[in-house]
Chain A
């Protein structure tokens, strides 16, 4: 009696018959734990010896399930290939029934993994998908604008409580992180630029550099990126989950316009708080630069602040704030849109969240480029 490697529950014995055939006595359990070993061991045995017939004796098998049947089917196939014969003795009747009915190779249905469609089909499908996305995108812009118009005429339709809650979540709660990142950013900028400016004795211009760069470009962009990551993702996930839980459908059948109910308060809250966050970001960055100026460049705080104020115009500040307002619209709009596009299950929510953040960062940078070009030719 030999046992199979690693499975003590199953042993087998091979004896040679008179006609050169092989007799295989199996003892113990024929189940999922032993099946793959059996197929391997018996298969190589048969391939080595190439007997004209194989008799499998199942008398001492204590447990037999369809993994056992699988072993027998495999053995039969090997024997069939070598034009040999397989006999099974002492088997339950339903096993023999399966062996008889289970087709030989020519009829076996292969459960193949479906081949991915051709390149052109996928290309076409992608285009159709994009067209549908764009169609929805346009209709969503329309429905958001209509909802805002509706709210302008009927201010009571605005969900004021929700708006305030979202203002808190997107704005107040974001102040620490926006402040910290901007502070460090200002610190880094002042630090890096001072190394160069010091050579020309132009330390004081560190103040101008940080003030201008932050108010016009980096403040709005950094704030928008943080808001996209914090708030955009949560909007998409919230609306997406509501979509899956049929809550959006429920809103619709209760006579609410889902866009007006879910998107308008979020977009409005973002429009209000993101410019304020941007102002905070500007201030914290200048504070960071001030620290570098005072402690490393031997500037007085007074001189630094005066230089900062002198280099800034009201236009710079308002332009940055205006831009951040536009970024706020883009972030919250795309986040809500991705949320409403969720169908199916949890994976779709994750996808929507990712897509909301990636699309909003792209939109932020793209629109900032447009602003840069427009402002270059307008002034």
Chain B
């Protein structure tokens, strides 16, 4: 009997001690943080839940902290160490002796009745709220309210107020409305305007275009095959000079070469209008109705590069510690003739792309080391792995190579940092590089939301894992393969089914 009581008391004691061992201010938050999610995490480095990017609202607790101790004198650490020679601020000295005590702030309260004595202690718990000293009460923060009379989520105007103004105001809006009395007219629907094309000769090609609400008149159509070079002759449209001819060696309807000539240039050439091709072939040696090409052997291509002295010399320059120590990015882009052309910073820290990229097959560039301004003491940092803009450029160089008939197997984006040299290569469907899809994907990758998700991923892991997580969970793409490049060979780096890093050396 006594033993039972002992176990009961001991259990209670253990749970009590276990609970208090959190040293956690439970008043600050409830389980919005998702502890359940990661306490169940068995992946070792991140949870299984979908990566949703920064949670500016959901899952975030915001509170003001007006009455916290003033550590501002410690923040002016330059007073103690103006040139950052290593002199420690008082706070750092304290830290060496003992970890800072864990504070448990009390739950702020607001007095029920104004009292000048108590009012000086008022803390407002609502985000952005301020104290009205006269009334000794918290005043809700002002926020923008958007007037949306037609209910299409686009707003006619906005005003700042603590409470929702009367009328059709909402607490969010997509953008300015071009007609707030008509839900079908907004920026998303081009305000009801359509593009009209003039096609007098009825061959489906246009000679003029205009954006109007309704048809401008006879001969105007809503779709076009392209610009008409002779609007009076339905037999002449896309080309008015010599006849166009193309080759299609694998006979899949996708052309390999295209040229104009008054007569058939020779064997294997097909007259364009007699049998219009579907587009340019990604591989004219293998027939594919949908122009799907077998994936390139990236490892074999990288092996060829590593055997190329010009490539090795270029990479050695980027990997030079002195290059990594520069305060701005440097790099090289390679043209279709194999020449490496120097890239320089664009006046700030990022490297600039050349004005004309029509002959560019790839580029390699540096993300430099962190550096400290010896005068101001500012620590300037750079993300070591490719940025969203670099990822967008990978799509760009592939789109460019495909459009300009360049060598796709030599098309990639290289990145060198203190973590080493990497190559990103496009392994996705050619369909993603059609003009329409490319524009959509490009805009998604460089959107502000994507940039914010990237920064969060880098905060959690600035290395390979962070980049791969960003690609998988934020961009949700499998179009990109990542390779680590070393003098001895390359390795493919990817996430496995359990989100663990998997490294596969190229043979």
Partners in one complex: no
Interface residues of chain A, those whose CB is within 8 Å of chain B, are: none
